[in-house]
Structure formats: structure tokens, C-alpha cells
Chain A
């Protein structure tokens, strides 16, 4: 699709941006005392009225996916956006087939690769009919799970394949924002993984196997730094321009997660004034995902009686 083909979609999304939650709305919700108060507030902002907060969030996620389908965007763009969900369904499908334990709710509803298709194709070992990005990793991941029954090893393998697919899609994209977003997502995922591995004292060999190649980071140096010590990891992040990430990590894990999401939202804000490209569509999609994630954090925190200061540390910056 040419940039001018996105004019309709972008104009439509500009209207919808008016209903996105602002930082002020999030502050207001943080100060609310109960879950029903937050649900009422969200309903007044056009969110689906449902019996439970979980159903409301799910309905909003489905609304977003339906809208993306309705906008008749480039199918390849939609598929790249669905990569994390596709690879998640692959992992869940392999687990279900190998362990014979059913977890229907663990699957995303994806057209052509929902639970039933995933389980059928994996049971039949019909890898040729899997979605293209999964064809390479699926046989290897299935065999690994079958031999080792190690869910963590399966996650590491499939997550890495997902990041490699995102990096490849980002590099191939002609759209600057899309490229930047995909490359940044891969780099942030690598950093998150390195941080977690460092905390758990994982060896260098694990890190070298798990980290996906990134255009923004030297993953070999990142792996070596993480395998050495926390200080070495911080020093490496500082050296490659992710000093803020190191600072947030010094505060807490939640502050680091928040920094990662805010970094992506910061990147999207440049798209507020573009009129015709895939950029504003991606920005809207991610902004909506971000606000659903924020609403989920708020609702969970309120339901469990977390302190406002703890919640504030976790809520993300908004797009508008």
C-alpha cells in the first residue's frame, strides 16, 4: 500500500484519538478508591459495559482488533502486529499437545490460528500450514518440548524466534516509525531478558542462546555484561545510550517496565501530525494497547488494595 492509501484510516483514527485516555484521566483513576468507580469512569469514556473488569478489557482488545480489520490495512502490517500473539499461541499450542493439558483461556483468538487450528496443526505435525513466520521454529520447538518438557526452554526458543521475525520485519519496512518501533521493541526485549537472567544468575551460554540479534545493541556484549554482574550490565546500557533504562532499573523492576513502555510511547508521539502513512495507525494501535494495559494495572491494583504510590510507579504515560 502507498502512503496515500492510509488517508482514510488516519482521518478516522484522528476522530477516535479524542476518546483516548490522557495522563490526567489516568491520574484521576489512580485516585479513585474502588474497581466499580474506575469501571464507571471507563464506561463514561465509551468503554464496553460488561459484568466484570476482565470482560471489559477483553471487549476493548477485541474492539481494537476489529477496528484494525475494518480499516482494510496492508495484511502484512496486520500480521506483523499479530506476531507476539501468533508466537504465544504456538507456545501454548505446543504445551497443550505435549502435556495433554487443556488451557483454552490461554490462547488468543486469532483468525486462522486460534486454539483449534493451532492444536490440530501441531497434533498432525502439519507445519506447512502454519502461518509463515512460525514455520521455521515450530518443528524445533515441538521436538524440544517433547524431549525435555522444559517450558522455560520452549519460551526462550519461541520468544527469540518472535523477536527475530520482528527485527526482520522492522528492517524491511519502508515506514520510519514502524522500523524504529520494531527495532526498539527487540532491543527492549533483549534488555528485559538480560536483566531477568542476571537476577537469576543465568550463565553466559543461556544469554547467548536467548538474546535475539538487535540493530540497536551488541547482544554479545550485553550477554557478557549481564553474565558478569549487575554493575557491568548498567555500565554497558549506559554506554550504548540506554542510561535511563539503567537508572530506572536501580529504582525497581516496575519502574523499568514503565520506562520501557514510556520509551515506546515517546517514539509514537512524532506521529501525531502525520496525515498519510502507516505510522499514525501503528501509533493509535499501540496507544490503545497501552491504555488497556494501564487500565488492567489500575484495576488489578485497586482490587488488591495497593497503595496509590505503588500504582503511580506502574502506570504508563499516555499518547494524548
Chain B
């Protein structure tokens, strides 16, 4: 296996792993808060569940970029990468969603916890509470776009 292939695979692995780790952490802390609210007020289950799920999207974005990369580099389809420079390009292309996915999922989880606390005290403010963590999502989507555009346009 060429070094190019190693770099390209590393990119796909980082995208899926880092974004996944970030999402797992975000969903975990939001889940703790959601459980706290539901234990006192079970009627809020649907609302807090939605807030808990928000930080989970980064993991999906990372997985998507990893799949596209694998289907381009000869693992699930496409041609095997033989050039080291091309492999490094795939690695660089995967980094936006890997890094931004990791950090934005953690921050979004913390924002979700705050929004869950808001719903706990004022359930009628759910609409506004959803917006705060959703804002953090913007930057994960931007990173996803850059990663997809880069991966699909290499070679």
C-alpha cells in the first residue's frame, strides 16, 4: 500500500472518529440534563429529547465525509491512491469536518444543556431554546461543505 493511500485513509478515519467523539460527548451531557428534567417533569420528554439529539449531527457529517472519501480512494469504489501528494490532499480535505465536528459538537452539547435548563424552567420557551444550540450547527455545516467539496474535487 502506498503512503498516499495511508494518508487518504487517515483522513477518512479522522473525520469519522473526531466528529463522532465530539457528538458522543455532546449527546452525553445533553442526555444527563434531559434525564434530570424528565425525572421531575416527564411531560418535557419530547422537547428535551430533541435538544439532546442536536449535537449528534456532527458524527453523521463525519461519517458522510468518511464514506465519500472511501468511495473515492479505491476502498469502496474509485481508483486507489498511489501518489503521496494526492493522499495528503484527501487528508487535508477531511480535516475541516474532523476538527470543527469535534469542537462544535462539544460546544453544541453545552449549549443544549443550557437550553434544557431553560425548558425546565419555562417549557413554553422551547422554540427559542432550540435556536441557541442550532446556531452552533452552522459552523459544522460550513465545515461539512468544505470537506465534501474538497474530497469530491480532488483528482
Q: Which residues of A come within 8 Å of B, CB atoms?
A: 4, 7-18, 275-276
Would you list 21 pairs from A and B whose C-beta atoms are within 8 A, ordered by A residue? A7-B32, A7-B36, A8-B32, A8-B35, A9-B36, A10-B117, A11-B34, A11-B35, A11-B116, A11-B120, A12-B36, A12-B37, A14-B37, A14-B120, A15-B36, A15-B37, A15-B120, A16-B40, A275-B110, A275-B114, A275-B117
> How would residues 15 to 41 of chain B score, 1 for a CB under 8 Å from any chain A CB and 0 otherwise?
000000000000001001111110111
Contacts of B86-140 to chain A: CB distance below 8 A: 110, 113-114, 116-117, 120-121
B29 touches A11 (CB 8 A): no
A11 touches B37 (CB 8 A): yes
Instruction: Return chain B residues, CB-CB under 8 Å to A12.
Output: 36-37, 39-40
B121 touches A7 (CB 8 A): no
Q: How far is the CA of A13 from the CA of B29 in the complex (A)?
A: 16
Q: In the assembled complex, how far is the CB of residue B102 from the closest CB belonging to chain A, in whole angstroms?
A: 17
B33 touches A275 (CB 8 A): yes
Q: How far is the CA of A276 from the CA of B25 in the complex (A)?
A: 14
B39 touches A276 (CB 8 A): no
A7 touches B120 (CB 8 A): no
Q: How far is the CA of A17 from the CA of B34 in the complex (A)?
A: 16
B121 touches A11 (CB 8 A): no
Q: How far is the CA of A10 from the CA of B32 in the complex (A)?
A: 10
Query: Which residue of A8, A10, A15 has the most chain B CB atoms within 10 A of its CB atom?
Result: A15
The chain B residue sitting closest to A280, CB to CB, is B117
How many A-B contacts are there with CB distance less than 8 Å? 52
B121 touches A8 (CB 8 A): no
Instruction: Return chain A residues, CB-CB under 8 Å to B36.
Output: 7-15
B37 touches A17 (CB 8 A): no
Instruction: Return chain A residues, CB-CB under 8 Å to B35.
Output: 8, 11
Q: How far is the CA of A4 from the CA of B28 in the complex (A)?
A: 10
Known contacts A11-B120, A276-B113; 19 further A-B pairs (Cβ under 8 A) = A7-B29, A7-B32, A7-B33, A7-B36, A7-B113, A8-B35, A9-B36, A10-B117, A11-B34, A11-B36, A11-B117, A14-B36, A15-B121, A16-B40, A17-B121, A18-B120, A275-B33, A275-B110, A275-B117
Instruction: Return chain A residues, CB-CB under 8 Å to B110.
Output: 275
Contacts of B23-70 to chain A: CB distance below 8 A: 29, 32-37, 39-41
Q: How far is the CA of A16 from the CA of B36 in the complex (A)?
A: 10
Q: Which residues of B come within 8 Å of A, CB atoms?
A: 29, 32-37, 39-41, 110, 113-114, 116-117, 120-121
Q: How far is the CA of A222 from the CA of B52 in the complex (A)?
A: 53
Query: Which residue of B110, B116, B120 has the most chain A CB atoms within 10 A of its CB atom?
Result: B120
Q: How far is the CA of A116 from the CA of B91 in the complex (A)?
A: 69
Q: How far is the CA of A12 from the CA of B35 in the complex (A)?
A: 8
Instruction: Return chain B residues, CB-CB under 8 Å to A18.
Output: 120-121
Q: In the assembled complex, how far is the CB of residue A319 from the closest CB belonging to chain B, in whole angstroms?
A: 13
Q: How far is the CA of A226 from the CA of B93 in the complex (A)?
A: 73
The chain A residue sitting closest to B117, CB to CB, is A14
Q: How far is the CA of A90 from the CA of B121 in the complex (A)?
A: 40
Instruction: Return chain B residues, CB-CB under 8 Å to A4.
Output: 29, 32
Q: In the assembled complex, how far is the CB of residue B33 from the closest CB belonging to chain A, in whole angstroms?
A: 4
Q: How far is the CA of A4 from the CA of B35 in the complex (A)?
A: 14
Q: In the assembled complex, how far is the CB of residue A232 from the closest CB belonging to chain B, in whole angstroms?
A: 47
Q: How far is the CA of A7 from the CA of B33 in the complex (A)?
A: 5
Q: How far is the CA of A159 from the CA of B113 in the complex (A)?
A: 41
Q: How far is the CA of A218 from the CA of B116 in the complex (A)?
A: 44
Q: In the assembled complex, how far is the CB of residue B111 from the closest CB belonging to chain A, in whole angstroms?
A: 10
Q: In the assembled complex, how far is the CB of residue A269 from the closest CB belonging to chain B, in whole angstroms?
A: 15
Q: In the assembled complex, how far is the CB of residue A107 from the closest CB belonging to chain B, in whole angstroms?
A: 31
Tell which of A9, A10, A15 touches B41, judged by Cβ atoms closer than 8 Å.
Answer: A15
Report the 4 A-B pairs with minimum CB-CB distance, sorted nearest first: A11-B36, A12-B36, A15-B40, A11-B33
Q: How far is the CA of A17 from the CA of B40 in the complex (A)?
A: 11
Q: In the assembled complex, how far is the CB of residue B126 from the closest CB belonging to chain A, in whole angstroms?
A: 14
Q: In the assembled complex, how far is the CB of residue A5 from the closest CB belonging to chain B, in whole angstroms?
A: 9
Query: Which residue of B36, B39, B116, B121 has the most chain A CB atoms within 10 A of its CB atom?
Result: B36
